[in-house]
Structure 1
Amino acid sequence: MSPQPQAAVGAPLSRVDGRLKVTGRADYAVDHDIDGVIHAVIVDSSIAVGRITGIDTTAAEAQPGVLTVITHLNAPTLPYRDNAGSNNPPGRRLRVFQDDQVLFHGQPVAVAVATTLEAAQHAASLVEVTYDAQEPSTDLSDHSLPTNTPTTYTRGDAQTALASAAVRLEMTYRLARNHHNPMEPHATTAQWDGDQLTVWDKTQWVIGGTQTELAAVFGIPLASVRVISPFVGGGFGSGLRTWPHVTVAALAARETGRPVKLALTRRQQYFGAGYRPAYEYGIQLGSDPTGRVTATVHDLRSETSAYETFAERGVLPLGQVLYGTPNVSQTYRTVPLDVNTPVAMRGPGFASAAFAVESAMDELAHELGIDPIELRLRNEPATDPSNGQAFSTRRLRECYATGAREFGWSDRDPAPRSTRDGDWLIGTGMAAGVYHTLRAAAQASVRLNADGTALVQSATSDMGPGTYTSMTQVAADALGLPVRRVTFRLGDSVMPTAPLHGGSLTMASVGSAVQDGCDRLRQQAIQLAIEDEQSPLYGADTDTVIVQGGRLYVSGDPSRGDTYERLLARNDRDSLEVLGSYTPAQSRLTIDAYAAVFAEVAVDARLGLVRVRRMLGVYDVGRVISPKLADSQALGGMVGGIGQALLEHTVTDHRDGRIVNANLADYLVPVNADVPDLRAIYLEGEDREADPIGVKGLGEVVLVGVAPALANAVFHANGRRVRDLPITADALL
């Protein structure tokens, strides 16, 4: 951290890009106006698996304004070379319009390109496709289906310990498939200039994602692809890889010689991009009579596509590190199905595992008659049980204590169905959460202008957490400038490199690069001043000079000072420039973020309806750069958890692989009426073992533990344990 006065970091600032967004002046992927732009609309397959036997584009191509219809019959062969470093899972990624094979319902089989969007839409509706369809396999609950090679983890002897345990429980939890449904649908505008491709894309990974994928698909150098993504209208993980429509847009632009806009419809979002996979999570748990858990056996199954193997890396660690269980056995199998490939969704893996693990802990607490918080305290490890490492910080005990005090946990009657409010049964529940602290190499350029303003740039993204604002705060304090005099820009592959925007790693990674660059530039300015004979700071000790409000002065002697503007003018400099960088150091400590989530629900005793009354989250996430942005993340995570626990459920017709509820009328997400009193508390502190600015990441952990806290509250209210998400009224009748 900079030794500078911290005026911006820690302040509840409003978003610096907020006015652009609320006035509609923020340009998203298809908002960019380009001369001669045309429109493309994808035609989706109506079967889940089989082959195309014929495509008739005659009627479509005869329509006014239609320029072409591209299919596998007339598309050029695309190189699709390997692209090391991408976020694609193992397997053979979908090659659009390269053969007659259909791998999932909704796969792109053609694209209509026309001078207007309406003409392209009409043309797409006139394309006639015939198929030789096969019976699809889309049902995860079919245990006769083959599975991929499992991922396993063991410590101790779980089976022996389980057999000798005084208390043994065996449960199976099921989680429905969830879709991201961000406000902005996935969309791309593509333009070629000779062999140079520029795309304006909705992406969470500008350089390693979209740029890398398009260079590989078209067999061109990375430098020949420019990706621009200044604003992303929500992502939740759906933009962490490059989906086929991006290639379709670029192909259509190349084939027509004109810039092309292509946006997925809301319906196409359900098979044109990924999703959180469905899970079956079996867990066996053994403990002694005091609640000390001696053994757990985890048996997981999740869906993946048949052409790629998507396995969530985060689904196993939670069961390894959250509690100090000496004997653990985990087996994780993915089931190849005739579906499109899943992708990370907020709290990936950890959020799914937390529902099973934290529900099982609540079931054990009820079985033993132990308070759920006390049970967790009795199983709290002193060191990381998966590897014996010490924790950088692990303040779950403090999270529990703070949450219990602020929520009024001691007021609850532990007996299920013991509290009523008229026809409503009232219940409270809690759960713990953990998410690993990820960091990656990043760079940021910093330029101090002669007028005393600064420009900071990095090719990161911002899907909504407030990256523009938080980076501006870090830069302002490190440079000693007011926030209004600092501009942060992002989302362009010509800017300094940045990692993917996900996994709660942006603040730690890009923020540390911004800090480094601004610290170095400030030191460069100070050095220039103390060597400048005309400066009041000439000959001063560099360690005594600080900068505040754009003014350099000696600590303890504020009258002896200079300004950035005067300094640069005297030295005939238009600017000072530095490239900041960050590379995460190896640590022998375990670095994680933690959460304790508390919930109160009401269940209608006659109808089984569930209403959330209030929620509280308490978080150990290191240093909080912006409290207002943190609240946005934490409360948003709780809202997402309400959806996961009570509403969201992708329904597939297993006869043909069609997603039945591919719209926001039938795929339910929380609305204002579903969102009650939500509150977040952040433990004060920082974690310098994690990164130079002391943050541990917030955006993912705030979802982990929400669904089980709600499920546990529903059990306390109703007395009926529901092990399938979402919890619906029929399960409580």
Structure 2
Amino acid sequence: MALFTSEPTKQMTMDSAVDSLLANTKSKLVGSDVSRVEGALKVSGQARYSAEVQLDNQAYGVLVGATIAKGTVTEIDSSALDDMDGIIKVVTDGERFLRNSQQGTKEVAPTQGAKEVFYHGQPIAVVIAESFEAARAGAHALVVEYKDDSDNAVLDFNNALNDAHDVNEKEGSDKNNEQGDPDKALENAAITIDHIYQTPSQNAAAMEPHATVAVWEGEHLTLYTANQMIASCKKQVADALGMDTKNVQLIARYVGGGFGSKLGIAPELVAAAIAAKEIERPVSIVMTRPQVMSATVRRSNTRQRVAIGANQAGIIDSIIHESTSSNLPDEAFFEPSALSTHYLYRGDNRRVKYQMVDTNQTLSGSMRAPGEAVGQIALECALDELAEKVGIDPIELRRQNEPDEDPSQQVPFSTRKLVECMDTAAKQFGWSERPKKPASRLEGDWWIGMGMAAASRGNSLQPSEARVTLKKDADAKYGVKAVVETDMTDIGTGSYTVFSQVTADMLGLPLEDVEMVLGDSDLPPASGSGGSFGAASAGSSICLACEKLREQLASTVGLYSDTMQLHEGRVQEAGVHAPSVSDALKEAGSKAAAHIKARINEKTGKAAEATQAQYDFDNDNSYTLADILSHYEEQKLVAKGKIKPGKNGDNYRQASFGANFAEVAVHRVTGEVRVRRMTGAFAAGRILNQKTATSQCYGGMVFGIGSALMEKLIFDKRDGRLCNRDLAEYHVPVNADVPQLEVILVEEDDSYTNPMHIKGIGETAISGAAAAIANAVYNAVGIRVYDFPITLDKLLDQLPDEPASA
């Protein structure tokens, strides 16, 4: 007999603490160190990225960037291309071409318009040809004339600080805040720290460049593209091109890293769409590395003042964090450097203040751990200096400044394991062997020092949806397969893997019988990858869809969902049901629904629903999922899950916490800094996969090495040209720069976050990592650097000659 099938949905809004079914599943794939399910495809070259898409009759485009910092395009002369082989067309669109990329989660087009130039490298045209090589040659030959106004461009951040203006708090991810009288408290403090810290602009330097292949079928536009957030990017495209969203489809099955640079659409996407429409052929545009670095997104440079006032024992009473960042004129994004300053340490008197300088340089936007990655450099270096002034261990200083609740909002922490992370990492690292006095340990020609810093990264939840289908499949191990569909992306973080683990545990199936379909905007819309909320948001919607499937199965076989165990493709009874008021209401609703369904079946001629009597779970009886599914129409069950943030986000301070420890060696003659080892301990709720989580932390710590010692975008102050716009000149850590890294994942369960009890982790690891290295440099040679990165020229003239006496 066939059962009636539908697409029921389980919705959840996080308004209170919730239990997690993952704690009770018999299968325990979640939390294990499962290797990436798509790993073989990637290492064998079978995972197809956007630039590798090949369509029939495909043409190729190369963007042309402006060669002035400010002005107007007056003429584009393509006559030099007339006799060049393979050139199809020079495409320009002064109104619709993207001037800037878009920020993450936005649902409208970014700033458009290619006639007026606001930064060197701004895309103004695209040359389309039969081959990439021909298009590149044509782009080099194109002649562009300008009305040059570069003399009035703002190209020096420090010289423009007097023109800093207030930020648009409504568009930002943090707000100005003041409590008590921080200036007076600072003035009256027994011990004070008051310094200016400067961090430079940086580039995400993802392996995969921005790329789009655009193809039109009538009025329908398909874009194979490299984006982190498919659902919002789809709306940006529709707005930019004046289209209905139903005619736009974005596909991004695999994304080769983003780190924030691909949160929104970038100039190559709209240019490809416009060009493909004009020549009536598919068009592929892959940005070159210099174009990616010049014309997408940078992390803003910052000027941060951190001032701390404490008593003789080091108890903080006043904390001030004032930050100025830069962006293009009329852009709202500002670097939220003080995000964690709001809640990381105690202090009755506090101020967070933001300002921004308008500059004619590449758009600034989110880059991995926006805010915390650079803000905690300043804050954690200041804490280290305070500990030295007080004369206590840096860990002890932080321990005694632990707040009982979020001091800025007076709300409790959902969980907070900073002290446990510090203590755990310190023991493993050997912190007790740290030289107590700076510049006191010399090994050969190398000064040795140790440093530490706390880490924190706010946790959040975004609306997400997913569909899960449970169906019979003769090729599956137990005759049943699960198919998960959501437009969530995998940017190298392990989405395919961790979502497969969650689904397998929830439905009692082996990992190989879970099919994950991601990265297509025609699928249910998810949060996308970014902000450390991707796994929690998209994963929760998948978890809820699985819960709904379990409820349907339980109803069919006569069990309660909390007494039904799914394992190895079978259903059995386990545990005792604990009825509640909500259960009674659900049961009454189920009976009413069953009555209505029976009436519908009677009128439509559908077979009656199978009775529960056919399933007898006495004597530990169990039944196969395949047998149960055979009674449903099409021998399958379908359910959706929807998650939304709720009151928990306001009523509790949610964050992941950690601690980074570093040992460095500084050459006594050259000032060269080498990181010898690092240890990090991080608490981020339930860990979905030990291997992928650890890898994310490795990546964050490597980012910290780059931020501390080498990464810096350099703009020519004459014409705004980005000087180090490739991976030869923009230095990122390579194998020789990265020492042995040790990651400790501290156990934690946070029932206020989501139905999986997980938090973001990768961006937590970068937070404080650079500060730990900077503090280690001070411990090694007794030199504090306030202008990052710490290059040898900032140490050379101050290097000690002999070890300090103990």
Q: State the TM-score bracket (shorter-chain normalisation).
A: over 0.9
Contact 2:103 2:263 in 1 (8 A): no
Aligned-pair CA distance for 1:64: 2.0
Shift of 1:273: 0.9
The answer on whether the counterparts of 1:89 and 1:308 sit within 8 Å (CA) in structure 2 is no
1:432-465 deviation line (CA, Å, top 9, x unaligned): 1111111011111000111201101111111111
Q: Give the C-alpha shift of residue 212 in structure 1.
A: 1.0
Asked if 2 retains the 8 angstrom alpha-carbon contact of 1:205 and 1:241, the reply is yes
Paired with 2:734 and 2:668, the residues of 1 have a C-alpha distance of 23
Q: Percent identity?
A: 38
CA distance in 1, matches of 2:425, 2:350: 29
AA partner of residue 156 (structure 2): D
Correspondences of 1:218-297 after superposition (within 5 Å): 218-297=241-320
Cα distance between partner residues in 2 of 1:629 and 1:359 = 29
The alpha carbon displacement at 1:718 in A equals 0.9
Deviation at 1:558, TM superposition (A): 7.6
Residue matched to 1:472? 500
Say if 2:186 is the partner of 1:157. no
* Structure 2 runs not aligned, ≥5 long: 1-19, 168-174, 474-479, 576-617, 797-806
The alignment status of 1:332 with 2:354, answered yes or no, reads yes
From 675, 691, 708, the counterpart of 2:771: 708
Deviation of 1:78 after TM superposition, in Å, equals 4.1
Taking CA–CA contacts closer than 8 Å with sequence separation of 6 or more, which of the two structures ends up with the larger relative contact order? 2
Runs of 4+ in 1 over 6 A off after TM superposition: 83-86
Q: Paired residue for 1:648? A: 711
1:620–1:257: structure 2 CA closer, same or farther, 3 Å change rule?
A: same
The CA distance in 2 between the partners of 1:380 and 1:730, in whole Å, is 37
Residue 570 of structure 1 and its aligned partner are, at CA, apart by: 4.4
Q: CA deviation at 1:152?
A: 2.7
Kindly report the root-mean-square deviation, in angstroms, between the aligned alpha carbons of the 2 structures: 2.0
- Cα distance in 1 for residues equivalent to 2:532 and 2:364: 19
2:567 matched to 1:548?
yes
Deviation at 1:96, TM superposition (A): 4.1
TM-score (norm: length of structure 2): 0.86
SS in 1 for 2:762: coil
Q: How far apart are the structure 2 equivalents of 1:724 and 1:141?
A: 13
Counterparts of 1:404 and 1:43, CA distance in 2? 52
Given candidates 711, 714, 718, the residue that maps to 2:781 is 718
| Mapped partners of 2:518, 2:668: distance in 1 | 52
**Residue aligning to 1:563:** 624
In structure 2, distance between residues paired with 1:152 and 1:8 = 43
* Deviation of 1:525 (Å): 2.3
CA distance in 1, matches of 2:752, 2:620: 37
* SS of residue paired to 1:611: strand
- 2:157 maps to amino acid: L
| Secondary structure class of the residue paired with 1:701 | helix
The equivalent of 1:24 in structure 2 is 45
Amino acid in the other structure paired with 1:344 = S
Q: 1:58-77, aligned counterparts within 5 Å?
A: 58-72=79-93, 77=95
Does the CA contact (< 8 Å) of 2:28 and 2:505 recur in 1?
A: yes
Tell me the residue number matched to 1:534. Answer: none
For the residue of structure 1 that corresponds to 2:158, the secondary structure is coil
Q: Give the alignment partner of residue 423 of structure 1, picking from 413, 428, 445.
A: 445
Alpha-carbon separation, structure 1, partners of 2:619 and 2:163: 73
Partner in structure 2 of residue 537 of structure 1: none
Q: Partner residue of 1:120? A: 135
Cα shift readout 1:556-592 (whole Å, capped 9, x = no counterpart): 8785111111222245642111111112231222111
Alignment equivalent of 2:405, drawn from 383, 387, 402: 383
Structure 1: which 5+ residue stretches go unaligned? 531-539
2-structure distance, mates of 1:456, 1:201: 21
**Conserved? CA contact 2:97–2:271, under 8 Å:** no
Q: Distance in 2 between matches of 1:160 and 1:541?
A: 62
1:371–1:542 Cα change, 3 Å: closer
Question: 1:458 matched to which residue of 2?
Answer: 486
CA displacement, residues 97-118 of structure 1 (integer Å, 9 cap, x when unaligned): 4xx3111000112110011111
Amino acid at match of 2:191: V
Aligned residue in 1 for 2:373: 351
Inter-partner Cα distance in structure 1 for 2:317 and 2:67: 51
Conserved? CA contact 1:79–1:219, under 8 Å: no
Q: Does 1:110 align with 2:125?
A: yes
1:695 is paired with a residue whose SS is coil
How many angstroms does 1:543 deviate by?
4.2
**Deviation string for 1:649-685 (max 9, x for gaps)?**
1011110000111111111011111111101111112
Deviations 1:321-370 (A, max 9, x none): 11001111222111011123111011110111100000011111112221
The one-letter code matched in structure 2 to 1:94 is T
Partner of 2:641: 580
Secondary structure class of the residue paired with 1:435: strand
The whole-number CA distance in structure 1 between the counterparts of 2:562 and 2:673 is 60
SS at match of 2:777: helix
State the alpha-carbon separation in 1 of the partners of residues 387 and 527 from structure 2: 42
Aligned to 1:33: 54
Alignment of 1:95 onto 2:123? no
**Structure 2 CA distance for partners of 1:222 and 1:541, relative to 1, 3 Å:** closer
Q: How far apart, CA to CA, are the structure 2 residues paired with 1:637 and 1:85? A: 22
1:37-52 equivalences under 5 Å are 37-52=58-73
Matched position secondary structure for 2:425:
helix
SS in 1 for 2:466: strand
- How far apart, in 1, do the equivalents of 2:699 and 2:762 lie? 9
Q: Provide the C-alpha distance between the structure 1 equivalents of 2:721 and 2:111, rounded to a whole number of angstroms.
A: 19
558-567 vs 700-709, greater mean Cα deviation: 558-567
SS in structure 1 at match of 2:300: coil
Give 1:167 deviation, angstroms.
1.5
Flag the 1:604–1:660 CA change in 2: closer, same or farther, 3 A.
same
Mapped to 2, the partners of 1:302 and 1:501 lie a distance apart of: 25
Question: 1:686 pairs with 749, 763, 766, which one?
Answer: 749
Cα deviation, residue 293, structure 1 = 1.6
Task: Measure, in 2, the Cα distance between the counterparts of 1:571 and 1:141.
Answer: 69
Report whether the alignment pairs 1:185 with 2:209. Answer: yes
Secondary structure of 2:630 counterpart: helix
> Which of 144-153 and 129-138 deviates more?
144-153
Following the alignment from structure 2 to structure 1, what is the Cα–Cα distance between the partners of residues 690 and 104?
33
Aligned partners of 1:61 and 1:123 also within 8 Å? no
| Residue of structure 1 aligned with 2:455, choices 421, 430, 433 | 433
Alpha carbons 2:161, 2:357 under 8 Å: kept: no
8 Å Cα contact 1:94/1:307 also seen in 2: no
2:8 counterpart residue number: none
3-state SS, counterpart of residue 595 of structure 1: strand
The alignment partner of 2:395 has SS state of helix
Answer yes or no: is the 8 Å Cα contact 1:146–1:335 preserved in 2: yes
For residues 541 and 280 of structure 1, the distance between their equivalents in structure 2, rounded to whole angstroms, comes to: 58
Contact 1:309 1:334 (C-alpha < 8 Å) held by counterparts: no
Q: Which has the higher helix share?
A: 2
Change over 3 Å in CA distance of 1:543–1:466 after alignment to 2: closer
Secondary structure of 1:583's aligned partner: strand
Q: Which residue number corresponds to residue 533 of structure 1?
A: none
8 Å CA contact 1:61, 1:67 repeated in 2: no
TM-score (norm: length of structure 1):
0.95
- Letter of the structure 1 residue corresponding to residue 625 of structure 2: Y
Aligned to 2:738: 675
TM-aligned CA deviation for residue 287 of structure 1: 1.3
- In structure 1, what is the Cα distance between the partners aligned to 2:260 and 2:381? 25
Residue of 361, 364, 369 corresponding to 2:383:
361
Which deviates more, 685-694 or 12-21?
Answer: 685-694
Secondary structure of the structure 2 residue equivalent to 1:298: strand
Residue of structure 2 equivalent to 1:536: none
Aligned pairs for 1:469-508 within 5 A: 469-508=497-536
Post-superposition offset of 1:144: 5.3
Report the CA distance between 1:59 and its aligned residue: 1.3
1:520 counterpart SS class: helix
- Pick from 324, 341, 345 the counterpart of residue 301 of structure 1: 324
Q: 1:206 to 1:296 in 2, by over 3 A?
A: same
